[in-house]
Amino acid sequence: MSSGLAKKLPIFSMAQCPNCGYAIDQLGMRTHCAKCGKQLTIRCISCQAHNPPIFQFCLKCGSDYRMFALIYYSDKVKQLDKQLVEYQHLYYQRARLQLLKRLSYCFVLVLSLAVCYFSLLLFSWKIASPIILSLALGNYILLTKFLTPWLSRLIGISYQTITEWRQVSLIAKKWQGQKNELQPQLAYYQEQFNQFQTYHLAPSSTEHDRETC
Protein backbone atom coordinates (compact mmCIF):
# COMPACT_ATOMS: atom_id res chain seq x y z
CA MET A 1 0.00 0.00 0.00
CA SER A 2 2.85 2.39 0.88
CA SER A 3 4.47 1.88 -2.53
CA GLY A 4 1.14 2.69 -4.23
CA LEU A 5 0.84 5.85 -2.16
CA ALA A 6 4.43 6.81 -2.94
CA LYS A 7 3.66 6.65 -6.67
CA LYS A 8 0.74 9.04 -6.30
CA LEU A 9 2.08 11.60 -3.86
CA PRO A 10 4.77 13.87 -5.24
CA ILE A 11 6.55 14.31 -1.93
CA PHE A 12 7.45 10.59 -1.99
CA SER A 13 8.15 10.31 -5.69
CA MET A 14 10.42 13.35 -5.40
CA ALA A 15 12.69 11.33 -3.15
CA GLN A 16 13.87 9.65 -6.35
CA CYS A 17 15.17 11.17 -9.54
CA PRO A 18 12.31 10.77 -12.08
CA ASN A 19 14.87 10.06 -14.80
CA CYS A 20 17.24 7.46 -13.30
CA GLY A 21 15.64 6.56 -9.97
CA TYR A 22 18.64 7.76 -7.95
CA ALA A 23 17.67 8.44 -4.33
CA ILE A 24 17.59 12.10 -3.39
CA ASP A 25 17.38 12.52 0.36
CA GLN A 26 17.94 16.23 0.44
CA LEU A 27 17.94 18.45 -2.65
CA GLY A 28 19.55 21.31 -0.70
CA MET A 29 21.26 23.77 -3.01
CA ARG A 30 21.43 21.20 -5.81
CA THR A 31 19.29 21.76 -8.88
CA HIS A 32 20.31 18.66 -10.87
CA CYS A 33 20.45 14.92 -10.21
CA ALA A 34 23.92 13.95 -8.95
CA LYS A 35 23.85 10.72 -10.98
CA CYS A 36 22.31 11.50 -14.41
CA GLY A 37 22.35 15.31 -14.40
CA LYS A 38 18.61 15.79 -15.07
CA GLN A 39 17.29 19.13 -13.87
CA LEU A 40 15.16 18.52 -10.80
CA THR A 41 13.99 22.06 -10.25
CA ILE A 42 11.85 24.29 -12.41
CA ARG A 43 13.21 27.70 -13.21
CA CYS A 44 10.84 30.63 -12.81
CA ILE A 45 11.18 32.69 -15.97
CA SER A 46 10.11 35.93 -14.27
CA CYS A 47 12.83 35.93 -11.56
CA GLN A 48 15.13 33.01 -12.61
CA ALA A 49 14.78 31.29 -9.21
CA HIS A 50 14.95 27.48 -9.07
CA ASN A 51 11.82 25.92 -7.59
CA PRO A 52 11.07 22.39 -6.47
CA PRO A 53 8.42 20.78 -8.71
CA ILE A 54 6.12 20.14 -5.73
CA PHE A 55 5.37 23.82 -5.08
CA GLN A 56 2.82 25.86 -6.95
CA PHE A 57 4.15 29.37 -6.39
CA CYS A 58 7.69 30.63 -6.92
CA LEU A 59 9.67 30.73 -3.68
CA LYS A 60 11.20 34.07 -4.62
CA CYS A 61 8.64 36.13 -6.54
CA GLY A 62 5.40 34.29 -5.69
CA SER A 63 4.20 33.78 -9.28
CA ASP A 64 2.49 30.59 -10.42
CA TYR A 65 5.70 29.81 -12.30
CA ARG A 66 4.54 26.91 -14.51
CA MET A 67 1.38 28.72 -15.56
CA PHE A 68 3.30 31.96 -16.03
CA ALA A 69 5.88 30.25 -18.28
CA LEU A 70 3.16 28.41 -20.23
CA ILE A 71 1.27 31.65 -20.97
CA TYR A 72 4.51 33.47 -21.76
CA TYR A 73 5.85 30.85 -24.20
CA SER A 74 2.53 29.99 -25.84
CA ASP A 75 1.85 33.70 -26.47
CA LYS A 76 5.29 34.10 -28.04
CA VAL A 77 4.88 30.98 -30.21
CA LYS A 78 1.38 32.06 -31.27
CA GLN A 79 2.68 35.49 -32.22
CA LEU A 80 5.52 33.95 -34.26
CA ASP A 81 3.08 31.55 -35.94
CA LYS A 82 0.91 34.48 -36.98
CA GLN A 83 3.91 36.34 -38.40
CA LEU A 84 5.08 33.23 -40.26
CA VAL A 85 1.61 32.74 -41.79
CA GLU A 86 1.76 36.35 -42.99
CA TYR A 87 5.17 35.67 -44.48
CA GLN A 88 3.89 32.51 -46.21
CA HIS A 89 1.10 34.61 -47.72
CA LEU A 90 3.65 37.16 -48.97
CA TYR A 91 5.80 34.34 -50.35
CA TYR A 92 2.82 32.97 -52.29
CA GLN A 93 1.93 36.44 -53.61
CA ARG A 94 5.52 36.98 -54.70
CA ALA A 95 5.57 33.65 -56.58
CA ARG A 96 2.37 34.68 -58.39
CA LEU A 97 3.90 38.04 -59.23
CA GLN A 98 7.01 36.40 -60.67
CA LEU A 99 4.92 34.09 -62.82
CA LEU A 100 2.81 36.99 -64.12
CA LYS A 101 5.96 39.00 -64.73
CA ARG A 102 7.50 36.18 -66.79
CA LEU A 103 4.31 35.77 -68.83
CA SER A 104 4.13 39.53 -69.46
CA TYR A 105 7.79 39.62 -70.56
CA CYS A 106 7.11 36.78 -73.02
CA PHE A 107 4.00 38.52 -74.30
CA VAL A 108 5.84 41.85 -74.83
CA LEU A 109 8.77 40.04 -76.49
CA VAL A 110 6.56 38.09 -78.90
CA LEU A 111 4.55 41.22 -79.76
CA SER A 112 7.74 43.26 -80.31
CA LEU A 113 9.27 40.58 -82.53
CA ALA A 114 6.06 40.49 -84.59
CA VAL A 115 6.11 44.30 -85.00
CA CYS A 116 9.83 44.13 -85.97
CA TYR A 117 9.16 41.37 -88.47
CA PHE A 118 6.26 43.17 -90.17
CA SER A 119 8.02 46.55 -90.20
CA LEU A 120 11.02 44.91 -91.91
CA LEU A 121 8.66 43.17 -94.29
CA LEU A 122 6.69 46.32 -95.15
CA PHE A 123 9.32 49.08 -95.00
CA SER A 124 12.91 49.59 -95.99
CA TRP A 125 15.62 49.24 -93.33
CA LYS A 126 15.87 53.08 -93.09
CA ILE A 127 12.27 53.39 -91.90
CA ALA A 128 12.17 50.12 -89.97
CA SER A 129 15.31 50.66 -87.87
CA PRO A 130 14.00 53.74 -85.91
CA ILE A 131 10.75 51.83 -85.25
CA ILE A 132 12.73 48.82 -83.92
CA LEU A 133 15.04 51.00 -81.80
CA SER A 134 12.20 53.02 -80.24
CA LEU A 135 10.31 49.79 -79.65
CA ALA A 136 13.33 48.33 -77.80
CA LEU A 137 13.75 51.48 -75.69
CA GLY A 138 9.99 51.68 -75.02
CA ASN A 139 9.90 48.05 -73.91
CA TYR A 140 12.89 48.52 -71.63
CA ILE A 141 11.23 51.47 -69.85
CA LEU A 142 7.86 49.70 -69.73
CA LEU A 143 9.26 46.47 -68.30
CA THR A 144 11.73 47.93 -65.79
CA LYS A 145 9.85 51.00 -64.55
CA PHE A 146 6.16 50.27 -64.82
CA LEU A 147 5.35 46.59 -65.13
CA THR A 148 6.43 45.29 -61.68
CA PRO A 149 4.82 48.15 -59.68
CA TRP A 150 1.63 47.80 -61.72
CA LEU A 151 1.50 44.00 -61.34
CA SER A 152 2.23 44.19 -57.60
CA ARG A 153 -0.68 46.64 -57.18
CA LEU A 154 -2.85 44.23 -59.17
CA ILE A 155 -1.93 41.29 -56.91
CA GLY A 156 -2.17 43.31 -53.71
CA ILE A 157 1.43 43.10 -52.51
CA SER A 158 3.37 46.23 -51.70
CA TYR A 159 6.11 47.10 -54.18
CA GLN A 160 8.41 47.93 -51.27
CA THR A 161 8.06 44.33 -50.04
CA ILE A 162 9.24 43.11 -53.45
CA THR A 163 12.24 45.42 -53.57
CA GLU A 164 13.25 44.57 -50.00
CA TRP A 165 12.56 40.86 -50.36
CA ARG A 166 15.95 39.73 -49.13
CA GLN A 167 15.42 41.57 -45.87
CA VAL A 168 11.84 40.26 -45.58
CA SER A 169 13.00 36.64 -45.99
CA LEU A 170 15.85 37.15 -43.49
CA ILE A 171 13.36 38.40 -40.90
CA ALA A 172 11.12 35.37 -41.54
CA LYS A 173 14.13 33.08 -41.10
CA LYS A 174 14.85 34.78 -37.76
CA TRP A 175 11.22 34.25 -36.67
CA GLN A 176 11.46 30.55 -37.58
CA GLY A 177 14.68 30.27 -35.54
CA GLN A 178 13.02 31.94 -32.56
CA LYS A 179 10.06 29.56 -32.84
CA ASN A 180 12.39 26.54 -32.91
CA GLU A 181 14.08 27.84 -29.75
CA LEU A 182 10.84 28.58 -27.89
CA GLN A 183 8.98 25.37 -28.74
CA PRO A 184 11.11 23.04 -26.55
CA GLN A 185 10.70 25.51 -23.65
CA LEU A 186 6.94 25.47 -24.15
CA ALA A 187 6.93 21.66 -24.32
CA TYR A 188 9.03 21.51 -21.13
CA TYR A 189 6.71 23.75 -19.11
CA GLN A 190 3.66 22.01 -20.58
CA GLU A 191 5.05 18.68 -19.36
CA GLN A 192 5.84 20.16 -15.92
CA PHE A 193 2.34 21.64 -15.76
CA ASN A 194 0.71 18.32 -16.68
CA GLN A 195 2.80 16.48 -14.08
CA PHE A 196 1.88 19.01 -11.41
CA GLN A 197 -1.83 18.66 -12.26
CA THR A 198 -1.55 14.88 -12.03
CA TYR A 199 0.07 15.23 -8.60
CA HIS A 200 -2.72 17.50 -7.42
CA LEU A 201 -5.34 15.00 -8.52
CA ALA A 202 -3.48 12.23 -6.67
CA PRO A 203 -4.89 12.71 -3.08
CA SER A 204 -8.51 12.42 -4.27
CA SER A 205 -7.72 9.26 -6.27
CA THR A 206 -5.98 7.68 -3.24
CA GLU A 207 -9.13 8.35 -1.19
CA HIS A 208 -11.10 6.65 -3.92
CA ASP A 209 -8.67 3.71 -3.77
CA ARG A 210 -9.12 3.43 -0.03
CA GLU A 211 -12.89 3.35 -0.42
CA THR A 212 -12.75 0.55 -2.94
CA CYS A 213 -10.31 -1.49 -0.81
Q: Which residues bind Zn ion (CB under 5 A)?
A: 17, 19-20, 22, 33, 35-36, 38, 44, 46-47, 49, 58, 60-61
User: Considering the complex, what minimum distance in angstroms separates the CB of residue 73 from Zn ion?
Assistant: 15
Nearer to Zn ion, 60 or 96 (CB): 60
Nearer to Zn ion, 47 or 120 (CB): 47
Whether the Cβ atoms of residue 94 and residue 165 lie closer than 8 Å to each other: yes
Nearer to Zn ion, 57 or 87 (CB): 57
User: Considering the complex, what minimum distance in angstroms separates the CB of residue 189 from Zn ion?
Assistant: 13
Q: How far are the Cα atoms of 12, 63, 197, 213 from residue 206, in angstroms, in the given order?
A: 14, 29, 15, 10
Nearer to Zn ion, 7 or 35 (CB): 35
Nearer to Zn ion, 38 or 82 (CB): 38
CA pseudo-torsion sign 33, 36, 42, 44:
positive
Nearer to Zn ion, 20 or 201 (CB): 20
Straight-line distance from the first to the last Cα atom of the chain, in angstroms, rounded to the nearest whole number: 10
CA angle 119, 124, 125 (to 5 degrees): 85
User: Considering the complex, what minimum distance in angstroms separates the CB of residue 16 from Zn ion?
Assistant: 8
User: Considering the complex, what minimum distance in angstroms separates the CB of residue 30 from Zn ion?
Assistant: 11
Cα separation, 147 vs 98, whole angstroms? 11
User: Considering the complex, what minimum distance in angstroms separates the CB of residue 49 from Zn ion?
Assistant: 5
User: Considering the complex, what minimum distance in angstroms separates the CB of residue 26 from Zn ion?
Assistant: 15
